[in-house]
Amino acid sequence: MNQSSPSPSPANAVPSGSADAPAPPIAARAPELGRRRGQRLFNFGLGAIVLALAWYTFTADVADHLHLYLGLLIIILSVSPGLRWARQANFSLPLFEAFMLTSINTYAIPLLSGHQALKNFSTETLTLAALGVIAFQGIALFTYISVRARAQRTPFWREAIVNENISYKLGYGIAITTAYTFADNFTSLIPGQLAGPLRAFAYGIGIVATFLQCRLWGAGILPKSEKNFFLVLTTTQIILSWSSLFLVGGVSIIVLGLLGYVTGGKKIPVLFLVVSLPCIAVLHNGKSAMREKYWEQQAPMPTLGAVPAFFQEWIRYGLDPEIQAQRNDSNRLLERTSLFHIMCLVVANTPAQLPFLNGTTYAQIPGQFVPRFFWPEKPVGHISTYTLAIYYGLQVEEDTTKTTIGFGLLTEAYANFGFFGLAILGVFIGAGSKYVSVSAASSPLLSYGGIFMVILMAWSFQTEMTMSIWLSSLFQGCVAVLGLLYVTRHYLK
């Protein structure tokens, strides 16, 4: 089949079909403006990467000079697809590009900055692990470029399921997620047996609503009143999420919103980043002290009224120089997202000490799609993660009920089949991303196919998951969101 280039005008545009429909994104209204913005975004990204490469060239903390070149190559392979997308005039969703970018913080930065945990491994292990990441990236990129696909024309991909002004209704989706976050963290209203389905529904709706509103904002067509409503609800949701002392939920919302904003207008919200990144860094700095007090010493978690004082205390810990002096270097914000030391652990032990798993964790995938109603003893969702953690001696079975260790797709692939596993994963990611992206090239964003792309975008930066939990959680999110839209459209008219 021949590849069809994404069309700038209809690709992922918000559908129009009524007098109240919002204007299509910038690239559809003014292709020349889209090209200019794309070129500016490309120049900004290229400049930032050149500065980053220069910085690490002179400051990298590596045991072997070869590791400097390998780390820089990982960065170059990570950003190349995104730079190519930025330069294009169309505003299609950068699914593959977003996934590839995650290799910078998970693999390149830990290698180049001398992550504390890497001191436990030999130079040869670090080299082999870095080559494994590069092999995956190279194969995934080659596959993505080489695979031919064409835009799909079935109703799933081409038929808009909403043909009216949708922006004000998206606020209801964010309100649902915010209400669920409040109920989950501060009340006992949610029955235990319904917690899973309700979570999938609430956060699935929230993912789509957050991305779409930020995309409309980036495209310059979100009304001011709805911007304010969105900011109030989203900020409340993030604060409520962080009050559990888990930063990842709120940060995921921020990253998803940034993706939506950038893909909608090919602009970088510089002011937002200048304000939000230092705030996240301060909270991250104080997180260990807060967890020691509220988790280990079991101080009462805050009630809703005590949340402001709770965050004041958290910020105070985050800015306390004595507490920061006691922190280990490996606790730095970007290094906390590292998967490279886990990759090194697996490379060092497999197959020299432990044989390859030969597909053991992949064999656990089908069972995750069986409803627990039909299989009450179904293994937990993180069964593959626990299998790896126990196999490599990071946990005993009792520990898995308290803590989950992130392994990631690349490490799992190597643990099962070595470099062959990384190659197969690269083909799977490259071909799958290409097929879905090109299939949705002419899809309205508010078609089933377009919303499926949005959900995939949200899952593209879930770097710590193994394949079983990645696929099963993606399936649950799709059922919750697409299933609700289908039922609403066909049975609740």
φ/ψ bin of 6: left (φ > 0), alpha (ψ from -120 to 50), beta (otherwise): beta
pLDDT in tens, 463-473: 889 999 999 98
d(CA 454, CA 446): 10
Nearest in space to 466 (alpha carbons), one of 378, 360, 370, 371: 360
Does 365 map to a domain? no
> Where would I find the H helices in 16-92?
26-29, 31-59, 65-87
Given CA atoms 306, 309, 313, 314 in this order, what sign does their dihedral have? Answer: positive
Helices (H), 147-269: 155-158, 167-186, 195-218, 224-242, 247-265
State the CB neighbour count (10 A cutoff) for residue 212.
Answer: 24
- CA atoms within a 13 Å half-sphere pointing along the CA-CB vector of 40: 11
In a domain, 159, yes or no: no
Domain assignment present for 206: yes
CB 413 within 8 A of CB 391: no
Residue at 92 is within a domain: no
Residue 372 falls within a domain, yes or no? Answer: no
pTM summary value: 0.84
The pLDDT value given to residue 336: 58
Residue 48 lies in a domain: no
Q: Give phi and psi for 243, each to the nearest 5.
A: -65, -10
CA distances from 139 to 70, 95, 103 (A): 16, 17, 14
Burial 448-471 (b: 16+ CB within 10 A, else e): bbbbbbbbbbbbbbbbbbbbbbbb
Q: What is the pLDDT of residue 33?
A: 67
Number of domains in the chain: 1
Radius of gyration of the chain (CA): 23
Number of alpha carbons in the 13 Å side-chain half-sphere of residue 308 = 1
HSE-up (13 A, CA, CB side) for residue 151: 18
Let me know the angle formed at the C-alpha of 235 by 222 and 91, rounded to the nearest 5 degrees: 40
SS3 160: strand
The alpha carbon of residue 60 and the mean position of all alpha carbons in its chain are separated, in whole angstroms, by: 26
Instruction: Please report the pLDDT score of residue 23 as a whole number.
Output: 42
Contacts of the segment 420-425: beta carbons below 8 A, 24+ positions apart: 422/132, 422/135, 422/136, 422/139, 423/135, 423/136, 423/139, 425/136, 425/140
Query: What does 273-320 look like in DSSP terms, one character per residue?
Result: HHHHHHHHHHHHHHHHHHHIIIIIS-PPPP-GGGHHHHHHHHHHHHH-
Please state at what angle helix 65-87 crosses helix 31-59, rounded to 10 degrees: 170
Establish if 291 belongs to a structural domain.
yes
Tell me the one-letter amino acid at 41. L
Q: Which two three-digit tokens encode residue 301?
A: 């978690």
Helix axes 307-319, 270-291, angle to 10 degrees: 90
In order along the chain (493 residues), what is the average pLDDT of each group of 10 residues? 40 39 46 77 92 94 93 97 87 90 93 88 95 97 93 85 64 88 88 76 88 89 88 94 89 91 89 91 88 88 92 92 60 66 95 95 91 80 90 84 85 97 97 93 85 90 90 88 78 55
Answer whether 414's CB lies under 8 Å from 127's CB. Answer: no
- Whether residue 236 lies inside any domain: the answer is yes
For residue 285, give its domain range. Answer: 167-335
Of 350, 339, 330, 432, which Cα lies nearest the Cα of 385? Answer: 339
